[in-house]
Amino acid sequence: MNKLKIQDFISIGIYTAIYFLVVTIAMVILRFTIPAFNSVLIPSATALFAGIVYLLVIHRIPRFGAITIMGSVMGLFFLVSGHFPLSFLPNILCAVVADWIQYHTKLSEKARTMFSYTVFSFGLMGPVLPLWFMKNAYIDSLVARGKDAVYIDKVFAPITTTTFYVCTIAVIVCSILGIIIGQKIYNKHFDKAKGKNYGKNIRNV
Amino acid sequence: MEKTYVTFDPRSKLCTILFASFLLMFPLPFKAEVLFVTLLYVLFFLNGSLKKGTLFYGIFWLLVLGDYLLFPYIDNGVAAFFDFLFVGNRRMLPTIMAAAFAMNRTKISEWIAALKKCHIPFGLIIPLTVLFRFFPTLFQDFRSIRNALKYRGIALSTAELFLHPFQTMEYIIVPILMSAENTSLDLSSAALVRGLANPKTHTSVYEIRLKIQDYLLISILILSAIVGRLI
């Protein structure tokens, strides 16, 4: 297995920045269209649009480790900029699993890409996690001021389970759609325009 | 005239963020929470950004007040929803505040020097550096592409961008990705010239060293965590 070079690290950084731009755009669009609880839909909205970025990373840097680094950098960036400090772990875990699926399983190429992209998209579940903590905090404060627990359970039980299922299913459906859209865009713009050896030429400079 | 302020090491700032996110996971009693937010306010004050700190502190007390006013009407569904937003956002505020404090008056190069000191692998630091450095270029690209789109008569108003999200995505992401290939080539040659591939330890202009105030801050955090659990 050939190791990653300095150029590869730099390309990974740039693709991560673009991926992050997609996340930001998705966040802004959702914030304007859905007033509350919009963070639940961030992973699926990003999955829908970022398929092309993921495909490019796979095609340009076809080595084990690229996706792991991308996920870890996303996690570190979230940690330092403090948006969702807890999203560090899901990002790295999902990225490692996605990387492993991409390069160490014997599925057909299309299914492999689709599957690993779905797993990778789950890394963005980090922003959703605070919602659960928010809910727990709310229940705590209600209990502390003497509301009875049965009433609280009755009110909140459907909210969490439904949002969780909706979120999971939305991520799966959107990432499959996203990778199909991404494949179309890739064939339209990147395959013909530059020739298939373009990426290889860059790395041999 | 330059205002004088106490500077903190990026590593102790990172500790503050970590502490705040632990606070989110393992909630402390309300009194301890108020104390922690007040501590963050003092940190903002020491760091020379009184205005920003006051803003956050004000938001915190407004959220507390909103919760207090709404609480008697909780049986009604709408009030419960708003009360949930108030309490939930109050819980989220310390992490946001800690992160704002961490980014306040810290240069990106300082962050990178500090991360190097923490022995984060080299393969992670390079992409992170590129990520930080690439953002200004990215936004500039975004603006030029937007102008070009307007010139071609595509999505003249911002509303149209929202109406055709797929078209927007294709027209914005694809050009950025195209230019990204060239940018990565440029950046790698620049980085190689500046000796990024040198296997020896790199030096930094920024002296990253834990000072008295950093030790003080970290020990206060650890102490308050222990005391907060005991109360």
User: What tens digit of pLDDT does each residue of A19-36 get?
Assistant: 888 888 888 788 777 666
Is residue A146, in this structure, part of any structural domain at all? yes
Residue A205, domain member (yes or no):
no
Q: Are B13 and A78 in contact (CB under 8 A)?
A: no
Q: Do B162 and A32 touch (CB under 8 A)?
A: yes
Residue A81, domain member (yes or no): yes
- For residue A18, give how far its alpha carbon lies from the nearest alpha carbon of chain B (Å): 8
| A27 is a domain residue | yes
Task: Kindly report, residue by residue over B53-83, the tens digit of the pLDDT.
Answer: 888 899 888 888 888 887 776 666 667 777 7
Residue A204, in any domain of the structure: no
What pLDDT score was predicted for residue A1?
45
Report how far apart, in Å, the C-alpha atoms of B230 and of each of A4, A68, B22 are. Answer: 49, 40, 16
Please give the single-letter amino acid code of residue B67: D
Phi/psi-derived region of residue A101, left when phi > 0, alpha when psi is between -120 and 50, beta in every other case: alpha
Position with higher pLDDT, B58 vs B230 = B58
Query: Which runs of consecutive H residues, i.e. helices, occur in chain A?
Result: 6-33, 42-49, 51-60, 66-81, 88-104, 109-121, 129-144, 149-185, 192-194, 198-203
Range of the structural domain that residue A63 is part of? 6-198
**CB burial string B120-157: b at 16+ within 10 A, e below:** eeebbbbbbbbbbbbeebbeebeeebbeebeeeeebee
Q: Do A82 and B174 touch (CB under 8 A)?
A: no
CA-CA distance, A197 to A88, in Å (whole number)? 35
Mean pLDDT of B197-216: 77
Q: Which of B40, B73, B96, B126 to mutate to test the interface with A (most CBs of A within 10 A)?
A: B126
Max Cα–Cα distance, chain B, nearest Å? 67
| Percent of the residues in chain A that have a pLDDT greater than 90, as a whole number | 3
- Identity at B90, one-letter amino acid code: R
Instruction: Return d(Cα B216, Cα B49) in angstroms, integer.
Output: 20
What are the pLDDT digits (tens) for B121-173?
Answer: 878 888 888 888 888 888 888 888 888 888 887 777 777 777 777 777 788 88
Asked if B199 is an interface residue toward chain A (Cβ–Cβ < 8 A), one would say no
How many angstroms separate the CA atoms of A30 and A109, rounded?
33
Interface test with B, best of A11, A48, A80 (most B CBs within 10 A): A80
**A1 located within any domain:** no
CA distance B198 to A164: 48
- Overall number of domains in chain A: 1
* Interchain proximity B99–A73, CB inside 8 Å: no
Q: Which of B21, B88, B177 sits opposite A56 (nearest CB)?
A: B177
Tens digits of per-residue pLDDT, A56-104? 888 888 888 888 888 888 888 777 666 666 667 788 888 889 888 888 8
- Dihedral Cα B164, A44, B138, B197, nearest 10 deg: -150
Q: Report the chain B residue with the minimal C-alpha distance to residue A137.
A: B88
**Residue B200 scores a pLDDT above 80:** no
Identify whether A145 is part of a domain.
yes
A203 assigned to some structural domain:
no
